[in-house]
Every structure is written in C-alpha cells, then in structure tokens.
Amino acid sequence: MILDAIVIGAGPAGLTAAIYLGRFRRNFMVFDVGDSRASWIPTSHNHPGFPDGVGGLELLARMKAQAERYGCAVRKAAVEDIFPDDDGFRVLAGGENLVARAVLLATGVADNEPPLPGVQAAIRNGLVRICPICDGYEAIDQKLAVIGASDLGAREALFLKTYSDQITLIHGGEAAALSAANRRALAEAGIDVIETAIARVVLDNERIGALCLGPGEPRHFDLIYSALGVEPRVDLAVRLGARFDDGGRLYVDDHQQTSVPGLYAAGDLVRGLNQISTAQGEAAIAATAIHI
C-alpha cells in the first residue's frame, strides 16, 4: 500500500498536519518519539484562544485527541531512514518498510542546555526559560540572568529590556564571540555583562537560588534565560540532499516544500522564531499542499 503522506513528529506542527490530512481524508501515518519541545512548557500565555494560558502537555493532548477524531493514530517509533522511491519515499520506521508519496518533517529542534543541575525539571517549572518571546511578559520587573556564549545571548538580553531593567548577561563563550556592536548596545542599555563560566549553583528548596560566578558573593536572580541556541533535527532531510541555512534550518518554498520534491517541513526546524502558532500555520500550509 502506498500512503499519501508520512508525518514525522507529533508536536504542534505534526499534530496540526495530522488534523488537516485527516479532514482531507488522506491515508497517512504519524511517527513520534515523544520528545516534543512543547511538552516542556509549564503554561503558555501567548497562544491565541487560551486567555488563562495553557500547559504544553495539555495543548498536545488536546491536539492529539482532535487528530484522532479524524482517524489519526500516532505511532511511537523513531524513523530510522528515508530513501527516494519511484512512488515518492521509502521510510524505515519501527521495523516497518513503508512507501509514501510525500513526507512532512516536523521534528523540531534540540536545545543546547545550560550547565545547571536538574535543568529540564527547572524548565518545566518555569524557573529556567528558553523563549523570551513566549514568556517575557511574565518576567516584568524581575531580576533576570541570560546565559549565553555568542551574540545570541546579547540579542536575547536586549530583547528582555522590554520587560525589565535588571538584566545580567553571563557570557561563557570566547570574548570574540560577542561582537563589538553588541557590546556597545548592551552598555547603552545598561545590561551588566559577566564574562565567566558558572562555577557553582546554589540550590534553595530544590530551586536555583543563586549562581556562583567565580570569586565573590553568589549572584541572586528571579529567573534564568538560556540563550545557548538550538540544534535543528534535520538529519533525515540532509541525507536526502535537502538544502539548509548556516543555522542548520531547512530552506522551504511558499508551500513548505524543501529543495527535495515531495519532502515538506514545518515548525522550529524551518524558522528561528520557535513559536507554536507559526509551527501550526506552516503545518496547515504543508498539509494542504500535500493534499492538492
């Protein structure tokens, strides 16, 4: 049997595509390994339609239930490889050898985590944050630390000036990794820059109470933002010869098709905004293009 499509990933992008493809009455499968970045979100307050906010796990569960109404079944298995086929693509996943006319990659990105104990739990609890666009509003007037190793850290610290005047950039990378232009911008914005690695973390009731940055007293912060970048999960696409930019994100056209005909991509592995709403929009475009 030749499938109309295979969707790889069941985060906001993959599940949106599943809802659309199901309603288009297409024959498709969804594969997922259960590591959606959205599952880390304690509460999102910027996702439209949820004035009181929505947790990442709740949103994913709602989307999965909606997709299942239209015949979608998410298979918990990794896609091992994809090969070109006369009928589209041959996909090896979960011990199966499948053929599909189109493949949609919704595999997202992996965060480069800061060197803090229990960092994943801290992210889920909202103490360590990875998306100032998502939750900067909830950091208004708080004392913030931004952990960076490049100009990305400077950009995020400057972005957060919208919400707080108490910002410290902890730059643990090479001095040259922070450009002169960004150093000037940080100074003009009144953002303190500490160029040292984190030596030790002080825990307070299983929370990160302070950061020790070499000699001297520990520095106390209300919230910590990690600005260490991400690694797009594009290995499958790269093996097929898909083009990607300097940041490792895939190039797509207006229909979310990569440089490989029939191979589509949506979500964080395409654009750097890393927003649920944009991932959903891109997936809707891709699923409609696959259908048409």
Each residue of 237-279: pLDDT tens digit?
A: 999 999 999 999 999 999 999 999 999 999 999 987 899 999 9
Q: Label residue 127 by pLDDT band (50, 70, 90).
A: confident
* Segment 64-74 mean pLDDT: 96
* Segment 183-195 mean pLDDT: 96
pLDDT, one tens digit per residue, over 135-156 is: 999 999 999 999 999 999 999 9
* Segment 45-61 mean pLDDT: 96
**Cβ atoms of 119 and 279 closer than 8 Å:** no
pTM of the predicted model, to two decimals? 0.93
**Cβ atoms of 263 and 256 closer than 8 Å:** no
**Which option is the CATH number for 113-227: 3.40.50.1820, 3.20.130.10, 2.60.40.10, 3.50.50.60?**
3.50.50.60
**Secondary structure (3-state) at 291:** helix
**Secondary structure (3-state) at 240:** coil
Q: Is the domain defined by 2-110+230-291 classed in CATH 1.10.110.30?
A: no
pLDDT, one tens digit per residue, over 192-204 is: 999 987 877 776 6
Q: Residue 218: its pLDDT value, please?
A: 83
Domain residue limits, the chain: 2-110+230-291, 113-227
DSSP 246: T
Q: Label residue 281 by pLDDT band (50, 70, 90).
A: very high
Domains 2-110+230-291 and 113-227 share a fold: yes
Q: Residue 205: its pLDDT value, please?
A: 62
Smallest Cα–Cα separation from 82: which of 68, 67, 103, 56?
103
**Secondary structure (3-state) at 147:** strand
**Mean predicted lDDT score pLDDT of the chain:** 93
Write out the DSSP string of 14-75.
HHHHHHHHHHTT--EEEEE-S--GGGG-S-BSSSTT-TT-B-HHHHHHHHHHHHHTTT--EE
**Does residue 58 surpass a pLDDT of 90?**
yes
129 versus 118: the higher-pLDDT residue is 129
- State how far the Cα of 135 lies from the Cα of 245, in Å rounded to an integer: 27
